Amino acid sequence: MTRPDIKFDWVRSLDPRNDLYPMRAELAGEIVIPDNKQWRGPYWRIDQSRTPRGPIGACVGFARAIDAMSMPVLVRHFRAKVGSTLKPFSYTMAGATDFALAIYDRAQALDEFRDTPPAEGSSVNGGMLAAREAGLQTGHVWARQFEDVRDWIATRGPVNFGTTWGNSMFDPDEHNVLHYVASEGDAGGHSYIVSGYRKSYWGQTVYTIDQSWGTGFGDKGRVYIDEHSLRGLFEDGGEAAVAVGSAY
């Protein structure tokens, strides 16, 4: 599969306060893990390679937009801070794209890199802060171990990941499953939404990625990743967070 014509610019959050807000604290009580769980994804497969600015590495903003359009959040209108104004965007594919770009811009301004900003990129934390500022949520919490991710998807909803994206992950197998192969090198950092899992999918456990590369990647924009690869990417410097307290 052709590599998308975008930059890879997710960077890991450096904010130590993230440790004060564990995902596990929101997962009280007995958790029943079904064999399969899939949350409904976005209405539109928005595409980072087709924006008014051209191809752009605004994955942090696009991930927040995809999450906003997915169950159980599913907002009915978009808005984001542009300058000092909270601006509404049309509830269309074009509006969702503009909303994603606005969230990304605010993420760069709000996250902990603002004092010494990288030339490109932002963190999942920056995206969450921008979404909170826009009224999409009142807070966010972080996975401390991979089991937190599994339990959240099983019971609460999708999870926003930020990890390395390997060169091997541009080529899903015949079942649209991605496999990370470290020896093939890395393209950079990427933020994306994991919206479900299947414990037995052609003989393996896989997780669903709702991607931000339009309908041309995987199964019309949705792809899968084997659990070993996703766990490894998360444990090797990745991060995973979820919004809590929807303000809509």
Closest C-alpha among 153, 239, 143 to residue 189: 239
* Strand 222-226 with 177-178, pairing: parallel
Q: What is the pTM of this model?
A: 0.95
CA distances from 96 to 65, 111, 118, 169, 185 (A): 7, 22, 25, 26, 32
CB neighbour list of residue 209: distance below 8 Å, 6 or more residues apart? 178, 192, 193, 194, 195, 218, 222, 223, 224, 225
16 falls within a domain: no
Enumerate the β-bridge partners of residue 219: 222
Q: How far apart are CA 191 and CA 140, in angstroms?
A: 16
156 falls within a domain: yes
Digit-coded pLDDT (tens) for 172-222: 999 999 999 999 999 999 999 999 999 988 789 999 999 999 998 999 999
Q: How many domains is the chain partitioned into structurally?
A: 1
Structure tokens at 118: 């990288």
52 falls within a domain: yes
User: CATH number of the domain that 234 lies in?
Assistant: 3.90.70.10
Q: How far apart are CA 138 and CA 121, in angstroms?
A: 23
140 falls within a domain: yes
Digit-coded pLDDT (tens) for 68-107: 999 988 888 899 999 999 999 999 999 999 999 999 999 9
